[in-house]
């Protein structure tokens, strides 16, 4: 049973969230997206929609990790040993990490059936293998058990899943874009996890009545006839898909000159973000943003667009300052830019 | 004002009106069941304790939807039973991987009943809501992966009272019908008859003006999530269909607001006419002060004529007493609804509560988790047996367990702390120091946040204390309720201490190290029973203080009066508390003092 997903292009409002998701698809190394916000704002809908939107990828046939046939640095052992790899087109994997998942299913484990029937020791890949070269989506990321979070962070950082358990010893590529969503009122996120996400978005319900009515109407139309609704949005979907493909080709060619690098450093220093991860992410995000707008050079505008998304969740939490991280970033940003223009 | 309302309802009593609504809801659910539960699962929250009224309603429902199976969820259900997993004995017997379905999947196309839903742990609630969203259960555990259909109808008994953990908000958000049966007495049921709907329409359309109206109404009631709107539209359509109409009318909207949105409202929409306001009792009015701002914000929305009409109509259609009752519960709603409950529960492992066992070696003081150990050993039996048979003569039909199979039980250590702030928000303090006190508490909250403490907030003013924030670890929530803290009125010190004591004992039962921080000038003038009089107030306060001291709850009293007050000192002695006059207090040494008082 394949469920028709609500088309990404038809989502009303939520421009920030959609933009962040699209950019993470343009540059997978950006570090994923964290969407925090109210209930019933369409976080899950957006993530599911993104999967259907993305262009297909070439993957090796009969490979359990959907290895790329060409990129030799990140292949599993079997693919690396093969002289010739036959590949086919597959949809970008989007893997859900459901609640109550156990560690063995995340990392992969001994195939119990094989062990029982044949007494054979065989590795059964887990969800991290399924998510290789795609997206790993964790709804209610703040409710995830701590030890699973540790495991995920470890793999997300290295891009490799190293299995040493139950007498098995192997490693396989696990490069995925981590997408998390959750409601901060239901429990805070550990700061380590927060920092690991490339971009973060605060999702709010639309306050505008006409926008809300539009949400309801489209959803209703979709529920009544998902197939036709999707068909109606096909043109928009294709347009978006092509733009993502174009930006992907362009992103490696985008240039960030020293002046812009200095600006990025200045912003990070003014905000007092810990570590270099914020700075690196902002550089990458600005590059993706430039590619998305079809530019081959990063400008001040690209940086100021991306700074709230890339840095908002990296600020040290100030309980006396009520405003959201992104608002604080914007405030500092205005200052830095103003100082620059004066100088 | 009475354009399109059937004024008959006005004459019936509140109880009858509520019961009629309940019966109407059952008919709607029956209609949904007829169309197939799995296609569009109904969901109902019943706010009531176990009793004849609830029993009666459930019986009635079972009669109406006669062929439907109802599954009851045990309160302490474990994850394996809930979502399913590997059926160990069947797997071993057959040598093939055999999955067992969980309760949620078993309920597919049937009804799930959750008693005492407000006490169900948040992990379980998350599983239920995730199944409701997806229509299936996604199992990834014990080396198996499955997707079981799980589109079930849901009936939730919300048995929370004031001060209890409220029902999880994320569950509330996904439930279509909300009934409050608590005001209904059994005698009303005797002369209630089943509503008669002869001709129901197979479908009804809902045009854009109606959708716009529902959107606007929901927003003016403080309901921001989009799900309730969709649900209200569905209810309106059901009501139209029940009445044999193919188009949704205004009256359907009113019904849907009553059945679906009213119980979730954070505040009532401000009606443009003053008549309705008069129905609100005056004292309650003051209680709602903190909501007024929001109401003002929504006032500009109510300029729209269409919505005005519905609010008026709604108010006039509501039976006498319901509005009063609603206003009374709304201030409670506004608090509990915005809070949810997960923050408080989520990481709160009680003392010695077992958590998932992990692989490890046996050392002294640790205990073996036998089941987990066997589960780890079982896949290897065939291999180990053949190894052993190769070396040793004869058959070995024992289970072979190796040290690497050992799983060790783990317990969550009890290192959590909980700090209860009791803030005097009476007139005398409000004038002097309330702002400073708020500042000091905010910085303490920040400290507490860094230490991952639980924080609760009680304020007392006027006649009695109010728990602004039950113990939580969410900084967002703590700050929200602190900034909304109003000031002015009498000083019911005893009541404040009593609330703090109740929370403290509950927290201590949960195995947390608990301390109370009291900010007051000590000039109590309202006694426990809400009457004025300094002497009685003071003696009550002393009594409660002694009770707290007797229970060995560490306290800190921060004297917020301008000159150190002898009364405050007296109270602090009774409490056995550390005494800290405010003139010498900066937020830095206040937080040091709090830490030292533990």
Task: Name which of B82, B143, B225, B457 to mutate to probe chain A: the one with the most chain A Cβ atoms within 10 A of its Cβ.
Answer: B143
Cβ B140–A127 below 8 Å, yes or no? Answer: yes
Q: Return the C-alpha torsion angle A235, A238, A239, A242, nearest 10.
A: -160
Cα dist. A230→A110, A236, B227, B514 in Å? 41, 10, 21, 56
pLDDT at residue number B324: 57
B531–chain A nearest CA distance, Å: 37
pLDDT at residue number B10: 41
Architecture of domain B1-196: 3-Layer(aba) Sandwich (3.40)
Domain boundaries defined on chain B: 1-196, 204-346, 354-411, 417-596
Cβ B212–A215 below 8 Å, yes or no? Answer: no
Collect all residues of chain A within an 8 Å Cβ-Cβ radius of residue B83.
100
pLDDT tens-digit readout, A28-87: 888 889 998 876 678 888 888 888 888 888 888 878 888 887 777 778 888 888 777 788
Cβ B143–A112 below 8 Å, yes or no? Answer: yes
Sheet with B417-424, edge to edge strand ranges: B464-472, B454-461, B417-424, B513-520, B555-559, B578-581
pLDDT tens-digit readout, A195-204: 788 899 988 8
Among B40, B158, B180, B167, CA closest to B109: B40
Cβ A99–B224 below 8 Å, yes or no? Answer: no
Q: Return the C-alpha torsion angle A306, A311, A312, A314, nearest 10.
A: 170
A324 is catalytic: no
Determine contact, residues A288/A246, Cβ cutoff 8 Å: no
The answer to whether residue A119 neighbours chain B at the CB level (below 8 Å) is yes
User: How far is B365 from B569, CA to CA, in rounded Å?
Assistant: 47
The answer to whether residue B436 neighbours chain A at the CB level (below 8 Å) is no
Q: Please, which residues bridge with residue A37 across strands?
A: A203
pLDDT at residue number B72: 93
Collect all residues of chain B within an 8 Å Cβ-Cβ radius of residue A95.
none
Cβ B483–A183 below 8 Å, yes or no? Answer: no
Question: What is the fold of A8-56+91-203?
Answer: Rossmann fold (3.40.50)
Cβ B219–A207 below 8 Å, yes or no? Answer: yes
Domain boundaries defined on chain A: 8-56+91-203, 258-342
The answer to whether residue A80 neighbours chain B at the CB level (below 8 Å) is no
Task: Name which of B93, B102, B170, B226 to mutate to probe chain A: the one with the most chain A Cβ atoms within 10 A of its Cβ.
Answer: B226
Determine contact, residues B385/B396, Cβ cutoff 8 Å: yes
Q: How many residues does chain B have?
A: 598
Residue of B nearest to A110 (CA): B143
Collect all residues of chain B within an 8 Å Cβ-Cβ radius of residue A217.
208, 211
Given phi > 0 = left and psi -120 to 50 = alpha, else beta, which region is B453? beta
> Where is average pLDDT lowest: A159-168, A235-244, B262-271, B331-340?
B331-340
Catalytic residue among A64, A212, A277, A324: A277
Instruction: Split chain B (598 residues) into runs of 10 and give each run's mean pLDDT.
Output: 41 75 91 89 92 90 89 86 80 75 92 91 86 88 83 92 78 92 79 72 87 86 87 93 90 89 77 40 39 41 46 57 53 40 31 59 63 78 76 64 75 67 79 68 67 78 82 74 77 88 80 82 82 84 86 82 81 84 64 64
Among A194, A184, A190, CA closest to B474: A184
Task: Name which of B218, B224, B229 to mutate to probe chain A: the one with the most chain A Cβ atoms within 10 A of its Cβ.
Answer: B224
Give the homologous superfamily in CATH for domain A258-342. Answer: Magnesium chelatase subunit I, C-Terminal domain (1.10.8.80)
Query: Which residues have C-beta within 8 Å of that of residue B49, sequence separation ≥ 6?
Result: B159, B182
Touching A: B residues 25-54, CB under 8 Å: none
Collect all residues of chain B within an 8 Å Cβ-Cβ radius of residue A151.
none
Query: Which pair of tokens denotes residue B371?
Result: 């089941």
Query: Which pair of tokens denotes residue A292?
Result: 């998305």
Question: What is the fold of B417-596?
Answer: Rossmann fold (3.40.50)
Residue of A nearest to B99 (CA): A113
Q: How many CB pairs under 8 A join A and B?
A: 172
**Does the interface predicted TM-score (ipTM) exceed 0.90?**
no
Determine contact, residues B41/B175, Cβ cutoff 8 Å: no
Determine contact, residues A176/A11, Cβ cutoff 8 Å: no
Indicate if B417-596 has the same CATH topology as B1-196: yes
Give the residue-averaged pLDDT of A231-239: 92
User: How far is A289 from A199, CA to CA, in rounded Å?
Assistant: 12
């Amino acid at each position: 049973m394949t469920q028709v997903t609500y088309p990404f292009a038809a989502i009303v409002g939520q421009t920030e969230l959609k933009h962040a998701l699209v950019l993470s698809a343009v540059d997978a190394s950006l570090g994923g997206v964290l969407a925090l916000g109210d209930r019933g704002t369409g976080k899950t809908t957006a993530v599911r929609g993104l999967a259907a939107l993305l262009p297909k990828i070439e993957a090796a046939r009969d490979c359990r990790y959907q290895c790329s046939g060409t990129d030799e640095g990140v292949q599993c052992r079997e693919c690396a040993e093969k002289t010739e790899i036959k590949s086919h087109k597959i949809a970008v994997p989007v893997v859900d990490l459901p609640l109550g998942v156990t560690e063995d299913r995340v990392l992969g484990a001994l195939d119990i059936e094989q062990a029982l029937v044949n007494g054979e020791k065989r590795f059964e890949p887990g969800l991290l293998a399924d998510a290789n070269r795609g997206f790993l989506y964790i709804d209610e990321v703040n409710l995830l058990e701590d030890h699973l979070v540790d495991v995920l962070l470890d793999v997300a950082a290295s891009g490799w899943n190293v299995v040493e358990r139950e007498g098995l010893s192997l490693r396989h590529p696990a490069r995925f874009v981590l997408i998390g969503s959750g409601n901060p009122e239901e429990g805070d996120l550990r700061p380590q996890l927060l920092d690991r996400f490339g971009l973060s978005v605060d999702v709010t319900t639309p306050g505008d009545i006409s926008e809300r009515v539009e949400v309801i109407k489209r959803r209703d139309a979709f529920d009544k006839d998902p197939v036709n609704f999707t068909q109606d949005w096909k043109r928009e979907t294709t347009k978006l898909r092509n733009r993502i493909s174009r930006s992907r080709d362009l992103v490696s060619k985008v240039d960030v000159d020293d002046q812009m690098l200095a600006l990025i450093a200045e912003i990070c220093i003014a905000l007092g973000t810990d570590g270099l991860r914020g700075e690196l992410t902002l550089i990458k995000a600005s590059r993706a943003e430039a590619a998305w707008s079809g530019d081959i050079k990063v400008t001040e505008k690209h940086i100021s667009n991306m700074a709230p998304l890339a840095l908002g969740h990296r600020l040290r939490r100030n309980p006396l300052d009520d405003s959201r991280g992104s608002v604080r970033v914007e405030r500092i940003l205005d200052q830095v830019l103003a100082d620059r223009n004066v100088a | 004002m009475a354009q399109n309302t059937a004024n008959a309802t006005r004459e019936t009593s509140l109880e009858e009106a509520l019961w009629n609504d309940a019966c109407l809801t059952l008919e709607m659910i029956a209609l949904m069941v007829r169309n197939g539960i799995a296609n569009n699962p109904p969901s109902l929250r019943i706010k009531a304790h176990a009793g004849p009224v609830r029993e009666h309603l459930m019986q009635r429902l079972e009669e109406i939807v006669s062929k439907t199976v109802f599954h009851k969820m045990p309160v302490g259900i474990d994850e394996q039973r809930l979502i399913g997993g590997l059926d160990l004995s069947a797997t071993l017997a057959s040598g093939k991987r055999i999955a067992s379905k969980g309760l949620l999947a078993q309920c597919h196309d049937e009804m799930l009943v959750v008693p005492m839903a407000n006490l169900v742990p948040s992990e379980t609630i998350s599983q239920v809501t995730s199944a409701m969203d997806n229509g299936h259960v996604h199992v990834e555990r014990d080396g198996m992966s499955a997707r079981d259909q799980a589109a079930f109808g849901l009936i939730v008994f919300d048995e929370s009272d004031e001060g209890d953990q409220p029902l999880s908000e994320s569950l509330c958000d996904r439930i279509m019908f909300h009934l409050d049966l608590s005001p209904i007495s059994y005698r009303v049921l005797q002369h209630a008859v089943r509503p008669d709907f002869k001709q129901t329409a197979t479908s009804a359309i809902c045009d854009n003006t109606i959708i716009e109206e529902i959107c606007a109404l929901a927003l003016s009631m403080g309901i921001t999530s989009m799900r309730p709107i969709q649900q209200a539209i569905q209810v309106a359509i059901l009501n139209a269909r029940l009445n044999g109409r193919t188009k949704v009318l205004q009256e359907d909207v009113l019904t849907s607001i009553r059945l679906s949105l009213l119980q979730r409202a954070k505040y009532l929409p401000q009606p443009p006419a003053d008549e309705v306001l008069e129905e609100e009792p005056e004292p309650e009015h003051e209680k709602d002060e903190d909501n007024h701002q929001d109401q003002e914000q929504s006032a500009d929305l109510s300029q729209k004529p269409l919505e005005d009409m519905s609010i008026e109509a709604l108010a006039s259609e509501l039976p006498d007493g319901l509005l009063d009752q609603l206003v009374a519960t709304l201030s409670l709603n506004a608090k509990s609804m915005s809070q949810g409950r997960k923050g408080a529960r989520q990481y709160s492992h009680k003392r010695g509560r077992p958590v998932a066992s992990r692989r490890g070696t046996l050392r002294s003081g640790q205990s073996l988790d036998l089941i987990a150990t066997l589960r780890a050993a079982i896949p290897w039996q065939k291999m180990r047996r053949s190894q052993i048979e190769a070396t040793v003569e004869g058959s070995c039909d024992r289970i072979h367990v190796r040290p690497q199979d050992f799983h060790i039980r783990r317990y969550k250590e009890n290192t959590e702390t909980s700090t209860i702030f009791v803030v005097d928000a009476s007139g005398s303090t409000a004038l002097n120091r309330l702002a400073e006190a708020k500042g000091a508490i905010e910085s303490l909250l920040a400290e507490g946040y860094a230490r991952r403490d639980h924080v609760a907030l009680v304020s007392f003013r006027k006649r009695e204390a109010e728990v602004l924030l039950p113990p939580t670890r969410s900084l967002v929530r703590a700050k929200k309720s602190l900034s909304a803290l109003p000031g002015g009125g009498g000083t019911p010190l005893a009541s404040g201490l009593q609330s703090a004591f109740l929370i403290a004992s509950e927290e201590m039962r949960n195995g947390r190290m608990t301390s109370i921080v009291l900010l007051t000038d000590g000039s109590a003038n309202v006694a426990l029973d809400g009457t004025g009089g300094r002497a009685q107030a003071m003696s009550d306060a002393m009594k409660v203080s002694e009770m707290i001291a007797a229970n060995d709850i560490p306290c800190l009293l921060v004297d917020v009066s301008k000159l150190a007050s002898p009364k405050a000192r007296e109270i602090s002695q009774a409490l056995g508390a550390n005494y800290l006059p405010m003139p010498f207090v900066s937020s830095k040494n206040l937080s040091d003092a709090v830490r030292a008082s533990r």
